Structure 1
Amino acid sequence: MDAAQLQNLAENLARNRRAGLVTDLPMSLLETEADALSAQSAALDLFDDDFRGYSLVATNPAVQRSLDLGSPIFAPIASRSFHDGLEHITLPRGMLGAQCELALTIGETYPFSIDPIDRQTAAGIVVACQPAIGLLGRRSRPTGVSALMAIADFGLHVATIRGASHHHIDPSQLDRLKVTARLNGNVVARSTAGTILGHPLEAVAWLARKLASDHRQLNADDVVLTGSCLPILQVLPGQTLSVEFGTLGSVSCRFE
């Protein structure tokens, strides 16, 4: 994919995201992961100039199957799409559904220079945890390789709604949280946070390894959205999604 094609794709992705549109875009021109990451980065620069951390998608097998992804993907979180305590949101076109996930706040630069990047070291740098709903969607009609399309298209991130923050947590126990999702009060899914790569901290370690391979790091105050504990939930205008995360509390949002 040449530079002019990449810039054109990025401009159209950013335009569609701002307008809440889905159109035919030349995603089939993406040949490599490097192409997809370059398109994502350029589109993000056009969409926002402030970022809050990273959103992960497909960190459990059910989501990988539903999105036709063989492994997790990630993208920076644009600040304009990151909301605390939001009670309602208008759904754009191209919605794929909602993730029921954890928002983990990082307390210091990670990974360290000599320590391994694993669940144990990740536990030491998580300083807060919040329940979250992550909305996923597309800005382009599907063409080409699913994974490359998903990466370029902002990692499929649309918006994030966070609940109350908890600072006095034991990160090593997060996998034991019982998660229950309700749509308009009716239970639609149950699981535990351990479905996220076996433990939510594995999502932090996975992301840190990906960043380190590109000579980057997580920084203090970054938020890592872990990917969903549950299958992707279809949400429609007029519905309210409420998700309970055991002792961590709950988060809810009404869709319009």
Structure 2
Amino acid sequence: MMNVSVAGLGEALALHRSGGSIAALALQSISSAEMAEEVQDAALVALDDNVVGYFATATIPVTRRLLRCDGPVFGPLTGASLLPSHSRLRLPQGVLGAEWSLGLLLGDLYPDPHRPVTASAIEDAIIACVPMISVLGRRVTGGVPLNPWTATADFGLHVASVRGTPVFERHLADLQGLEVVASMNGAVVGRSRGGEVMRDVRQAIADLSLYLARRGRQVPPGNLIAIGGGPLILQAVVGQAFTADFGELGTVEAVFG
């Protein structure tokens, strides 16, 4: 019975993601973190899109409070959801907001099943850093509880991301002073400072590593790990241009259409 429920929820989530719609799906019937991950897997199979990496959100306290999650939430990055900078991004129903993300382009398999999961292992796997903006949203109506299980099942809340130009030969150790400034239509709406940025990014990477290792999964070379750094900007509406300035890594912009 559970298998039927998992498959049915996954197919429904994929249908509403494809159509940009929302519905009162029974995600509250999810009874464990494992079941939430099974529903996400079923939704991804039903979506029939290629996976090009993984995404983490709810990595900082303020975003966790807004998303009602007590820790990071992980989901797949799909080919159709990853767009170039300055793309016009259609906002579907159920959008929650947007946040900047630090993309890590991998040159090696990660995590390496033959090597312990350590900070140096992820450093060795990174070949470039990529400025990104990610849009979060749900495929369900507001009456469906938002919590870590429902967020995980619902594609990890990921809707779409725009990516800037990769900056090669940049590693996490090079970004200790990184400051990210988020602007909406030219007005600054958020600022993430230096050491705080990298502390949260490093912790999210460690959590993602454990998540992948627990499921026996790896991110292949050429794929991205995108770590949402927030804070979540809630006023994402049609006609706005959201810009994230990553300093030495460049800028990235999403135009909401």
Q: Same fold (TM over 0.5)?
A: yes
**TM-superposed deviation, 1:194:** 4.1
TM-score with structure 2 setting the length: 0.93
Q: Is the 8 A contact 1:175 1:199 kept in 2?
A: no
Q: Per the alignment, in what secondary structure is the counterpart of residue 124 of structure 1? A: helix
Corresponding residue for residue 219 of structure 1 = 220
Q: Per the alignment, in what secondary structure is the counterpart of residue 226 of structure 1? A: strand
Instruction: Confirm or deny that 1:153 pairs with 2:154.
Output: yes
Instruction: Confirm or deny that 1:105 pairs with 2:110.
Output: no
**TM-superposed deviation, 1:115:** 4.3
**TM-superposed deviation, 1:206:** 2.2
Residue identity opposite 2:153 in structure 1: A
The alpha-carbon distance between structure 1 residues 13 and 26, as it changes in their structure 2 partners (threshold 3 A), is same
Displacement over 3 Å in runs of 4+: 112-116, 193-197
Residue identity opposite 2:82 in structure 1: F
Q: Is the 8 A contact 1:60 1:195 kept in 2?
A: no
Q: Tell me how far apart the structure 1 counterparts of residues 27 and 133 of structure 2 sit (CA, whole Å).
A: 27
TM-score with structure 1 setting the length: 0.93
Residue identity opposite 1:160 in structure 2: S
Residue identity opposite 1:219 in structure 2: P
Map Cα deviations across residues 13-66 of structure 1 (whole Å, 9 max, x no partner): 111001100110011110011111111101111113311000101111111111
Q: Is the 8 A contact 2:172 2:198 kept in 1?
A: no
Corresponding residue for residue 19 of structure 1 = 19
The alpha-carbon distance between structure 1 residues 135 and 193, as it changes in their structure 2 partners (threshold 3 A), is farther
Deviation larger for 67-76 or 109-118:
109-118
Structure 2, unaligned runs of 5 or more: none
Q: Is the 8 A contact 2:82 2:161 kept in 1?
A: yes
Q: Is the 8 A contact 2:175 2:198 kept in 1?
A: no
The alpha-carbon distance between structure 1 residues 197 and 138, as it changes in their structure 2 partners (threshold 3 A), is farther
Q: Tell me how far apart the structure 2 counterparts of residues 132 and 31 of structure 1 sit (CA, whole Å).
A: 33
Map Cα deviations across residues 191-230 of structure 1 (whole Å, 9 max, x no partner): 1364457152433332122111222222211200011243
The alpha-carbon distance between structure 1 residues 3 and 234, as it changes in their structure 2 partners (threshold 3 A), is same
1:63-102 equivalences under 5 Å are 63-102=63-102
Q: Tell me how far apart the structure 1 counterparts of residues 233 and 121 of structure 2 sit (CA, whole Å).
A: 29
Q: Tell me how far apart the structure 2 counterparts of residues 241 and 139 of structure 1 sit (CA, whole Å).
A: 22
Q: Percent identity?
A: 34
**TM-superposed deviation, 1:155:** 0.4
Corresponding residue for residue 124 of structure 1 = 124
Residue identity opposite 2:99 in structure 1: Q
Aligned residues: 256
Structure 1, unaligned runs of 5 or more: none
The alpha-carbon distance between structure 1 residues 47 and 118, as it changes in their structure 2 partners (threshold 3 A), is same
Q: Is the 8 A contact 2:103 2:131 kept in 1?
A: yes
Q: Is the 8 A contact 1:174 1:199 kept in 2?
A: no
**TM-superposed deviation, 1:233:** 3.9
Map Cα deviations across residues 63-121 of structure 1 (whole Å, 9 max, x no partner): 11111100101111111111123421111010000011111111111233564423232
Deviation larger for 162-171 or 56-65:
162-171
Q: Tell me how far apart the structure 2 counterparts of residues 179 and 186 of structure 1 sit (CA, whole Å).
A: 14
Instruction: Confirm or deny that 1:244 pairs with 2:254.
Output: no
Corresponding residue for residue 140 of structure 1 = 140
Residue identity opposite 2:222 in structure 1: D
Deviation larger for 15-24 or 196-205:
196-205
The alpha-carbon distance between structure 1 residues 178 and 254, as it changes in their structure 2 partners (threshold 3 A), is same
Deviation larger for 51-60 or 102-111:
102-111
Deviation larger for 44-53 or 228-237:
228-237
